[in-house]
Structure 1
Amino acid sequence: MKPPKGSVAIENRDNRIRLRWSFNGERYCLSLGLNYTQINLKAAQQVANQIELDILSGNFDLSLNKYKPAKISFANKSKLSKNPNLLEVWDVWVNSLKLTSRTKNRHYMQIRGLIRKANPKLKDPKWFTKIDTLSPEIWNSRLSYLSSCLDWCIDKGYAAENPYKGLKRRKSATKAAKPFTKQEINSIILAFRTDQFCPQSSSYKHSYYADYVEFLFLTGCRPAEAIGLQRKHIDLERNEIVICSVLARGDNGETSSNKRVRKETKTGNIRYLTMTERLRQIMESRCADLQPDCLVFRSPKGLAINDNNFTRRQWKPVLEGLGIEYRKPYTTRHTMASIAIEQGIPLTGVAYLLGHKDTTMVMRTYGHMINRPSLPEIDI
């Protein structure tokens, strides 16, 4: 597996974080002015991801000003009260992360609302244990953010210990991913290509999305990755597809084309997918007359695909018509991963194809498929 082009290395230079990479034959080095700690490494990884994405998309800032951390105006002890509460510290920590407005307005602001309502002391986690309006998954996620904030407090000297690390995570009902069978895959793709369940009067033909559906099955890409795929991400000479960004929903979950935002992939990884023969046929056909920045998959009006409309108008009618148990389009991703595991692709390889940094998520989701023993033969 070849290393990603323009990859950025994160180094420890005298206990300070430094980034190093090469671009167009030139070597670059950038010091972030941060101590080499676990919390600061997360911030450094965000900068590294942005540099890699800009190199790949042709937006690299040669001056490096775009990647230099701005001065934190109030992330120091003099701006905090002598005994700050959690809300005060939370605001300073969030600002120190230099998040985009889009990112800050989601989980961080939602957690801030919980903190503001409870107004807890810095070292008292009891308020959080009393919250019963969140699902176990979301509660556990919020706990991770709070724990990271307290780790930062320890690093800055605001606290001596992290009381949130002692909280027990809540158990959630694990729903096993149910991939589509090969017969179901073939039936779905055929129904899309033949407009089998599309009303003749409809202006939204299923067949228009047939390549998009087959692409999801063949690659296991997230829908937002497929929706955001551009012609310049298809390298026919190298026979590979570069998955480096997505067209994500708007800040408030909007799916319309004009509200979508181009950003890095969910995990910040860039991956290179070698095309199968069938996938190459689809890409050659679709890319023939496209300019580099054009979307490979578009709506009938030439805009980015609205995944909500696609699911309601195309996906659901096809599955209902075929009598196939409903599963979200995202299940195409689980399907590809399951087939890859069945064919003996190593877990590290499956994780790479899915865009995960390691095999943790693969083991958690598909562990029941790995080295599963058969029942013994018992003479009765």
Structure 2
Amino acid sequence: MKASKGSVVVESFKDRLRLRWRVSGKRYCLSLGLPDTQESRMLAELKARQIELDAISGNFDTTLAKYKPQSLAEKPVNDAQLLTCAELFQQFMEYKSQSLHPRSLDRYKTTLKYLHQFYYREDETRKLLAAQNAIAILQTHVEQFNAWLQSKNAERARKERLILLSACWSWGITKGFVEANPWKDLQKQVESAPKQPLKPFTQEEVKAILAAFKTHPQYKHYADFVEFLFLTGVRTTEAIALRWMHINSNMSSIWIGESMSRGVPQTNKVRSIPLNDRIRLLLQTRKPENYLLEDLIFPSPEGLPIDDRNFRNRAWVKMLELAGVEYRKPSNTRHTFICMCLSAGVNPAVVAQITGCDLQSLDRDYAEYIPSVSVLPDLYANG
């Protein structure tokens, strides 16, 4: 039961009734030790009314001795012990924001939005859950949230949110906000579940996408940008941040060490990518006559940094549709580059160096594209 503002809330916690209320800005919680039955709730309601009357008349007993059963010794609890799920995650997000990139923080904000949506819906089931705080969330509530989340999110996004929630409750344990992590088992399930296999673009699809960009009157401005993504395997945000100063004097290599998402710059792991003739020609052709070293190589039509989200939602979606190619995110240009390099026999260590991946990730995510040796060579045939 959730009472109106200023009144005492009667709720079930671990199948036992307790009262929760606030007096003079201070929160109180009193466990009655009674099972959640109709008879016990009647007694709990009487206790609740007594507390309300005492608070109004100025006779409230701050020690709670007047209201608690003889065998119990409860005391006021602090605000941290009464955090709701959303409040706990809000604090966790504020803690993480000190070290997170703004784009990464968006995932936390979206997860917080889903917590609010689920635990504060206008039906009786959700009202009951909303009355419970973070410390009272049980495995059944977690499973209900997960089932609801499945109807709202793609599989990858759902897994990401469950991992964040598990991390939040683990952090909450260290802070004394909660006593257990009911999300942990779900996190293990999603982490151990087999990943959906990658689906790189075929050579024919790449040609169709590039042709669509090069011939479209509105989006042909991005043709070189998209071709560069396919030819180098850089991340979309890395290509957006590239400036002419990042190319060496003879255009034999390009320095990668920054990225930009929605106008916010970030430092990346530094690496250098060797350029072939096709990439050099692309860059030389688009290089302005009177350029500055700090100018962006791939600016937006307005001369500003490309907004990666707007590019994806507008130009990318439209061009794949016109090309008759099944939708995949712009990041798939990077997957395609890696898959094609490995399939062509490029040493995985070289691919890892060029793309900024680690060998462990390549072996895990791209094993099927790495040619295997069926027969060991005779290394000492001439010995």
TM bucket, shorter chain: 0.5 to 0.7
Letter in 2 for 1:169: Q
Q: What residue is the counterpart of 2:266 in the other structure?
A: 264
Cα distance change of structure 1 residues 357 and 343 upon mapping to structure 2, 3 Å threshold: same
Task: Kindly report which structure 2 residues correspond to 1:295-374, keeping only aligned pairs within 5 A, or say none.
Answer: 295-305=296-306, 307=311, 308-311=313-316, 314=319, 316-317=321-322, 319-320=323-324, 329-356=330-357, 359-360=360-361, 362-371=362-371
CA distance in 2, matches of 1:157, 1:312: 46
Contact persistence 1:247–1:263 (CA under 8 A):
yes
Say which SS state the counterpart of residue 269 (structure 2) adopts.
coil
Q: Which runs of 5+ in 2 are unaligned?
A: 1-76, 120-128, 375-383
Cα distance change of structure 1 residues 191 and 111 upon mapping to structure 2, 3 Å threshold: closer
Q: What residue is the counterpart of 1:22 in the other structure?
A: none
Q: What residue is the counterpart of 1:165 in the other structure?
A: 184
Contact persistence 1:243–1:272 (CA under 8 A):
yes
1:164 is displaced (CA, Å) by 2.4
Instruction: List per-residue Cα deviations over 1:38-73 (Å, max 9, x = no partner).
Output: xxxxxxxxxxxxxxxxxxxxxxxxxxxxxxxxxxxx
1:300 is displaced (CA, Å) by 4.5
Cα distance change of structure 1 residues 348 and 142 upon mapping to structure 2, 3 Å threshold: farther
Select 1:217's aligned residue among 230, 233, 248. 230
Instruction: List per-residue Cα deviations over 1:236-274 (Å, max 9, x = no partner).
Output: 3583323333342xxxxxxxxxxx322327xx5343222
Letter in 2 for 1:344: G
Identity across the alignment (%): 27
Cα distance change of structure 1 residues 269 and 325 upon mapping to structure 2, 3 Å threshold: same
1:130 aligns with 2:144: yes
Contact persistence 1:180–1:331 (CA under 8 A):
no
1:148 is displaced (CA, Å) by 1.6
Say which SS state the counterpart of residue 244 (structure 1) adopts.
strand
1:341 is displaced (CA, Å) by 0.9
CA distance in 2, matches of 1:316, 1:272: 34
1:367 is displaced (CA, Å) by 2.7
Greater RCO, CA 8 A, separation 6+: 1
Q: Which runs of 5+ in 1 are unaligned?
A: 1-77, 249-259, 375-380
Task: Kindly report which structure 2 residues correspond to 1:132-281, keeping only aligned pairs within 5 A, or say none.
Answer: 132-134=147-149, 135=153, 136-158=155-177, 161-167=180-186, 168-170=188-190, 174-181=196-203, 184-185=205-206, 189=210, 195=215, 198=216, 202=217, 204=218, 206=220, 208-236=221-249, 239-248=252-261, 260-264=262-266, 268-281=268-281
Which stretch has the larger CA shift, 113-122 or 219-228?
A: 113-122
Letter in 2 for 1:338: C
CA distance in 2, matches of 1:221, 1:104: 19
Contact persistence 1:177–1:365 (CA under 8 A):
no
Contact persistence 2:201–2:336 (CA under 8 A):
yes
Aligned length: 270
Instruction: List per-residue Cα deviations over 1:261-291 (Å, max 9, x = no partner).
Output: 22327xx534322222322232234345321
Letter in 2 for 1:149: C
CA distance in 2, matches of 1:205, 1:156: 51
Say which SS state the counterpart of residue 88 (structure 2) adopts.
helix
When normalised by structure 1's length, the TM-score is 0.57
CA distance in 1, matches of 2:86, 2:326: 46
Cα distance change of structure 1 residues 217 and 290 upon mapping to structure 2, 3 Å threshold: same
